[in-house]
Structure 1
Amino acid sequence: MTVFSRWFGTPSDGQKTPVIVLLHEGLGCTAMWKNFPSQLHNATHLPVFSYDRPGYGLSGDLSDSFQEGYLEREADQYLPAILRSAGITGSIILLGHSDGATITLMAAANNELKIEGAISMAPHVIIEQISVIGLKATQKLASDTDFVERLSKYHGSRTSKLVDQWLSAWLSPWAVSWEMDNYLKQIHKPILFIQGTDDHFGTQAQAVHIAGLVKSSFKAHMIEQCGHIPHLQAAETVLHQVTDFITSLNLPK
């Protein structure tokens, strides 16, 4: 299977410095991070690695993309395999958004990965009523051909299928009671949580739930007048929070 990836900054020989690994949102891809990866590299002076998950962007298709347990498979199986394929064997810092933020937290429970810390922007660890309302609003928006056409710039001819399958998954019966508590209870790595106060998919309840279960240091930042995409809607604030968090990890230079 072909997996598209891109580096922002060059990893050091033998990967002596940590790599920031980006995990995109539920309908996203590397290109949809826009300028953020470059900004992140410039702010942290660390190499940044981004990839399109199978079924997205410029990567190949995946037959079971949105069957029940798809996020778990991304965290437990595909992420470690993609890191190995990319030659990333040293320390990493995970940074994910939305679906990618959830995968980030799941992966942070994996002690076999050399994770120094994890940054989770607008994750979903429980399904709130606002989450369902937001999904149904997106479903209505998806009936607008302009919405699909805009996304097709990134996902090509499979865009309609991608949107339909992703929405169907999160509006299916299994999603109603979905949670990831078993993962959260196994996290011993420092976590930075970032979310906008105007996020239409989740509230501060997500942060409260995470804080009550993880076994590690946990910092939560709610950004005022910011929606579901903090790294684009409040880039300067996010970069400041991320760089402060990475500095607090006291990584070897």
Structure 2
Amino acid sequence: MTSLLSTGHLTIGDDQLEYRMIGASPADSPTLVLLHEGLGSVGLWGDFPDRLAAATGAGVFVYSRAGYGGSSPAKLPRPLDYMHREALDVLPQLLDAIGFRRGLLVGHSDGASIATIYAGGVPDHRIRGVTLIAPHFIVEDVSVESIAAIKTAYESTELRAKLARWHSDVDNAFYGWNGAWLDPAFRAWDISDHLAYIRVPVQIVQGADDQYGTSRQIAIAEAECYCPVEPLIIPGAGHSPHREAAEATLRAVADFADRILNAHGEAAHGQAA
């Protein structure tokens, strides 16, 4: 187990992954592990991790996957099963490295899909629940259309310069994600079978105006899951409700986390499991 500072890098396999830790150590306190979107990073979460820690009293651990933020670059092209590799190879090592004992996974977009694969593919009693913000379980037409459009924007507008603020190798971050999603073979990507194997409560938060996915994703989860599913559609929000409707999203995620941790007698401030 690595002794965690408030910021730093973890060595996971051949990669150096940047991280932030807010609050008590995962070895001492319930912890929410945040998994970012396909173009996200530690920094792009903004103050959401800090506010989530303050609202729940739990620790919050945030990290950038390889290819993002200040982490090691990824080898391109990314394999089309890159989310499975993150969930089944990288994430178990990371949770062990930080001394994770109990808590929730909170994933956004690609991060939500990774959380789904982990929760449905790894028997880990430490995971008490999962929050999935704008998850993808299958590839929809709207997803591909929006991802094709953002490629055009990246190559013809100031988007590249804006993203470069958050990624040390912005082209590695962008093309690793964009190239995989736009590969014709990726249309067959489908993780809905993992949903049936999740054995903890699932919260799904989706913006009503999500430009990358529709309510079909929620319908799939409700049809496939045997565990409790709590869907929430937030009016006026798009693909990033934690930024576009921050207060409503924070309240919903914090309330879900509090209820899960209270149900296990571990609410906040490091009470023992």
Compute the TM-score of the two structures, normalised by the length of structure 1. 0.94
Whether contact under 8 Å (1:139, 1:167) holds in the other structure is yes
State the shift of 1:30 in Å.
Answer: 0.6
Q: Secondary structure at the match of 2:25?
A: coil
Gaps of 5+ in 2: 1-14, 267-273
Q: Percent identity?
A: 33
Give, as a single letter, the amino acid of the residue that structure 2 aligns with 1:140: T
The equivalent residue for 1:181 is 192
State the shift of 1:165 in Å.
Answer: 2.6
Deviations 1:227-248 (A, max 9, x none): 1111111111111111221233
Whether contact under 8 Å (2:73, 2:172) holds in the other structure is no
Change (3 A) 1:3 1:161: closer
Q: 1:42 aligns with which of 10, 35, 54?
A: 54
CA distance in 1, matches of 2:257, 2:126: 15
Structure 1 stretches of 4+ with a deviation exceeding 3 A read none
The equivalent residue for 2:264 is 251
Deviations 1:183-211 (A, max 9, x none): 11211110000000111000110000111
Does 2:65 correspond to 1:53?
Answer: yes
Q: 1:162 aligns with which of 158, 169, 173?
A: 173
Compute the TM-score of the two structures, normalised by the length of structure 2. 0.87
Q: CA RMSD in A?
A: 1.4
Does 2:249 correspond to 1:238?
Answer: yes
Give, as a single letter, the amino acid of the residue that structure 2 aligns with 1:60: S
The equivalent residue for 2:21 is 7
Deviations 1:136-157 (A, max 9, x none): 111111112511111111112x
Give, as a single letter, the amino acid of the residue that structure 1 aligns with 2:183: S
Whether contact under 8 Å (1:195, 1:222) holds in the other structure is yes
State the shift of 1:64 in Å.
Answer: 5.6
The equivalent residue for 1:190 is 201
Number of matched residues? 249
State the shift of 1:87 in Å.
Answer: 2.0
Gaps of 5+ in 1: none
The equivalent residue for 1:205 is 216
Q: Which moved more, 1:193-202 or 1:3-12?
A: 3-12
CA distance in 2, matches of 1:198, 1:145: 23
State the shift of 1:65 in Å.
Answer: 6.8
